[in-house]
Amino acid sequence: GMPVEQNPPALSLYEGAESGLRCNFSTTMKGVQWFQQNHRGRLITLFYLAQGTKENGRLKSTFNSKERYSTLHIKDAQLEDSGTYFCAPISAGNKLTFGIGTRVLVRP
């Protein structure tokens, strides 16, 4: 299967709602980076985690190396949260392997 699987492929949320994105990897990874790609194509780093959990405002991410997954949780969704979210676990050589992304649409 794919080395990095992201679910769901697409997500529609109303403003103020919350939801979670998940990323599973086929092998043990050293860390993970989460990105939001906006409508201009720019990659914005949301989190870099080598272990555990981090929070930043309405976003929270967890990385579990042993169980080979990471999650991204969005609370109180805002219109500007729309975009494509990529999970990219980090392997040897500090190399990122990207998933195909989750397209998030936040509706008013």
Partner 1 sequence: DPKIIQKPKYLVAVTGSEKILICEQYLGHNAMYWYRQSAKKPLEFMFSYSYQKLMDNQTASSRFQPQSSKKNHLDLQITALKPDDSATYFCASSPGGVTNTGQLYFGEGSKLTVL
Give the CA distances from residue 79 to residues 13, 38, 42, in Å, rounded to whole numbers and listed in that order.
9, 12, 17
User: Which positions from 5 through 44 interact with partner 1, judged by CB under 8 A?
Assistant: 30-31, 33, 35, 41-43
User: What x-and-dash track marks residues 84-103 binding partner 1 by CB under 8 A?
Assistant: --x-x-x--xxxxxxxxx--
Tell me the site size for partner 1, rule CB under 8 A.
22
Tally of CB atoms within 10 A around 91: 15
Q: What angle do CA 51, 9, 59 make, to 5 degrees?
A: 40
CB closer to partner 1 out of 60 and 75 = 60
Q: Are 74 and 15 a contacting pair, CB within 8 Å?
A: no
> What is the binding site for partner 1 (CB under 8 A)?
30-31, 33, 35, 41-43, 45, 48, 50, 86, 88, 90, 93-101
